[in-house]
């Protein structure tokens, strides 16, 4: 058979995934009569490895359009929300040499599931959800088998780079020559 070699390479050495639902309470400037809409914008996040977990910290703006004064006027309440999601890592490579690079991707951007007026009538409760996938990149060893018993054939060097007489006949000799009258 052949020999074996260990190759050190960068690879995914751990993965994590987390789905989060959360409730936020917003205090609008006026007592709301009804909710007309809710949306989340300006999502920003960063991920880092902390021990055997990945921590995703971020923020987003919640905007709620509501009516007040018995549905005679409208306004938009805006609030910036900060969060921190801790993801447990699955599939950890025991041969990992360095694993500080983290790639975090949003599988589901934060969005509003439900927006309601609180029971006492002066606040707005927003239910939101988000989902992340993270991969930890590290240096690891890969073992490969080397087959040295194969004989090199003459075809390995012949890649069709030779030019035959017909191709020379088709060449335009003035192609590379610039206009000398300029």
Global pTM exceeds 0.85? no
Quick one: pLDDT at residue 181?
55
Question: Token pair of 104, please?
Answer: 């975090």
Backbone φ and ψ for 30, nearest 5 degrees, come out as: -130, 160
Helix boundaries (H) for 68-139: none
Q: Which residues, given as ranges, of the chain have pLDDT below 50?
A: 1, 182
In the block, residue with structure tokens 């075809």: 155
pLDDT confidence of residue 108 = 96
pLDDT tens-digit profile of 16-28? 999 999 999 999 9
Q: Give the three-class secondary structure for 72.
A: coil
95: three-class secondary structure by DSSP: coil
The pLDDT of residue 158 is: 58
Q: How far apart are CA 6 and CA 22, in angstroms?
A: 46
**Strand pairing partners for 9?**
140
Neighbour-count burial for 109-121, b at 16+ CB within 10 Å, e otherwise = ebebeebebeeee
Can you give the pLDDT at residue 96?
77
């Amino acid at each position: 058979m052949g020999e074996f070699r260990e190759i050190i390479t960068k690879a995914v050495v751990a993965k994590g995934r987390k789905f989060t639902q959360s409730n936020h309470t917003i205090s609008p400037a006026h007592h709301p009569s009804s909710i007309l809409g809710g949306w989340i914008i300006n999502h920003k996040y960063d991920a880092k490895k902390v021990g055997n977990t990945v921590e995703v910290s971020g923020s987003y703006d919640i905007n709620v359009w509501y009516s007040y004064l018995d549905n005679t006027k409208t306004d938009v309440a805006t609030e910036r929300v900060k969060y921190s999601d801790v993801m447990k890592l699955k599939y950890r490579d025991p041969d990992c040499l360095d694993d500080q690079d983290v790639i975090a991707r949003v599988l589901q951007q934060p969005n509003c599931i439900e927006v309601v007026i609180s029971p006492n009538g002066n606040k707005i409760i927003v239910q939101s959800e988000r989902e992340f996938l993270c991969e930890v990149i590290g240096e690891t060893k890969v073992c490969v088998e080397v087959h040295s018993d194969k004989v090199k054939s003459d075809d390995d060097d012949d890649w069709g780079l030779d030019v035959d007489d017909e191709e020379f006949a088709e060449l335009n000799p003035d192609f590379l020559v610039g206009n000398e009258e300029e």
